[in-house]
Amino acid sequence: MRLVVKGKLFTARGLIDGSILVEEGRIKKVVKGDPRWPVDEILDYGGRRGNVILPGLVDAHVHMRDLDLSYKEDFYTGTRSAAAGGFTIVADMPNTRPRTNTPRALKEKENLARNKALVDYCLYYGVPSEREHLTEDVQKLAVGIKVYMQDEFYSERRSLVENTLGYAAEKKLLVVSHAEDPAFFVHGPAGTLRTAEAEVSAIKDISGRAKDLNFRLHITHLSSKAGLEELLKQKRGVNLTVDTCPHYLLLSAEDVRMQRGIAKAHPSIKGRVDAKALLIAARNGGIDAITSDHAPHTVEEKSGDMEGALGGFPGLETTLPLLLTLVNKGILELGDVVRLCSTNPSKILGIRNAGEIGEGKMGNLTIVDLHRKFKIEPQKFESKAKFSPFAGREVEGKAVATVVRGIPVMVDGEIVGPRGWGMNAKTYG
Ligand code: NCD
Ligand code: ZN
Ligand code: ZN
């Protein structure tokens, strides 16, 4: 299969009007102008104002659910949602049922994903309950190890966590941490308040261990200004990266009060001051990446009071439009979005030949229309979870095509790629 994509290309050397030839899944040529290559398929965005061809977007934190939680989402619907939102690779978290923390569960998930996914994927491994479960399969299939510091697991079974972190250091496996220390949660009548102090304490704890044990650490879904300040302090002494999510940049406690359970997330959405500090850091490099934390549930699971509702909401179909809206407002540059959602997440996850348009790289592309205006309507989501705290928002900017290893999987909002096309991006050569 030979695919040509034409138009304004976002390359490391800047924007050029040109053509990309993708052959056997890889970018063969990137040239200026419009050469006449004999090809099987052409996506032509040349001369169209507002269309830009970006390196394929990568989301380093999603929940595809599946298995016993497939009523919330599965690898097919979750990756359709990714394709619709412009994401070419999604990294799936291990808090599934069963948990992805045995070699058997990991292999089972790999099979499932390989048969169902439409876009490429990475898999995280959870802290196992037995040392013997840190096997070669983990190095082969998992992109990293996820540590949920708020779990009882973390405080009660410190030696297991210690073992796992040591293993990650030895095998040079990335450690991704949900950094919240439950000792600093405040339980009140309006539900549990997940404070900024909880984030600060956990960041101190896990960065200290990264220093001692020498593993590569990434802190995910940072939510507070105090957490950011602590993190920037820690960054000086250790090779540490961090992401945040659109809801921590664009929503505040006010929105949560109005939307109640729908806008509940872990960590909880903080104040305006926090959002502002995170947005500035996203622009100036203090924040390395943006993830969606796509966390589907049923509407029933999101209703009820704040204490009863589950945390999280789908984000794969809102992340890029929300960020491109910031670009249109002059708050971010398009280059920031590419760095935060493609180049850096590819580097953080250690995915080879991704995150860049260049000869020899994977043929993963996200074509955007910077000026497509629309209203966020969750009932139109590809995800099974048809709700969002951003419902009703007017946004400007959208993915109009998603290409995974040379195969268009979404074009003009239609899912056109085959189920099972996705592969584990850890195995990219
Ligand atoms: C996530 C989930 O639902 O799995 N929920 C959330 O509120 N973010 C878990 C998590 O990312 O901590
Ligand atoms: Zn989390
Ligand atoms: Zn999550």
Catalytic site residue from 59, 243, 293, 336: 293
| Per-residue pLDDT reduced to its tens digit, 361-412 | 999 999 999 999 999 999 999 999 999 999 999 999 999 999 999 999 999 9
pLDDT in tens, 101-122: 999 999 999 999 999 999 999 9
Q: Is the pLDDT of residue 265 over 90?
A: yes
Output the pLDDT for position 306: 78
Q: Are 404 and 367 in contact (CB under 8 A)?
A: no
3-state SS record for 367-390: EEEEEEEEECCHHHCCCCCCCCCC
Among all bound ligands, the one having the nearest atom to the CA of 302 is: 1
Are 71 and 93 in a shared domain?
yes
CB contact at 8 A, 234 and 240: yes
Same domain, 159 and 240: yes
Question: Could you tell me which residues are beta bridge partners of residue 5?
Answer: 20, 43
- Are residues 34 and 76 located together in one domain of the fold? no
**Residue-wise pLDDT tens digits, 138-164:** 999 999 999 987 776 666 678 889 999
Answer yes or no: are the C-beta atoms of 352 and 24 closer than 8 Å: no
Residue 316 belongs to some domain of the structure: yes
Split into its structural domains, the chain has a count of 2
Amino acid in the structure at residue 392: G
- Of 349, 382, 405, which residue is a domain's last? 349
CB-CB contact of 204 with 256 (8 Å): no
Q: Which token pair is 262? A: 């729908």
Q: Model confidence over 212-223: pLDDT tens digits?
A: 999 999 999 999
Nearest atom in ligand 1 to the alpha carbon of residue 95 is 4
Q: Which domain holds residue 423?
A: 2-53+361-370+395-427
Residue 406 is predicted with a pLDDT of 98
**Ligand 1 pocket, CB under 6 A:** 63, 95, 178, 265-266, 293, 295, 311-312
Query: Are 199 and 234 within one domain?
Result: yes
**Residues with CB in 5 Å of ion ligand 2:** 178
Whether 377 maps to a domain, the answer reads: no
Ligand 1 test: best mutation among 247, 293, 298, 316, most atoms within 8 Å of CB?
Answer: 293
- 13 & 63 share domain: no
- If you measure from the C-alpha of residue 322 to the centroid of ligand 1, how many angstroms do you get, rounded to a whole number? 20
> Catalytic: 293?
yes
Choosing from 149, 266, 319 the residue with most ligand 1 atoms within 8 A of its CB, the one to mutate for a pocket test is 266
**pLDDT tops 80 at residue 190:** no
The answer to whether residues 169 and 222 belong to one domain is: yes
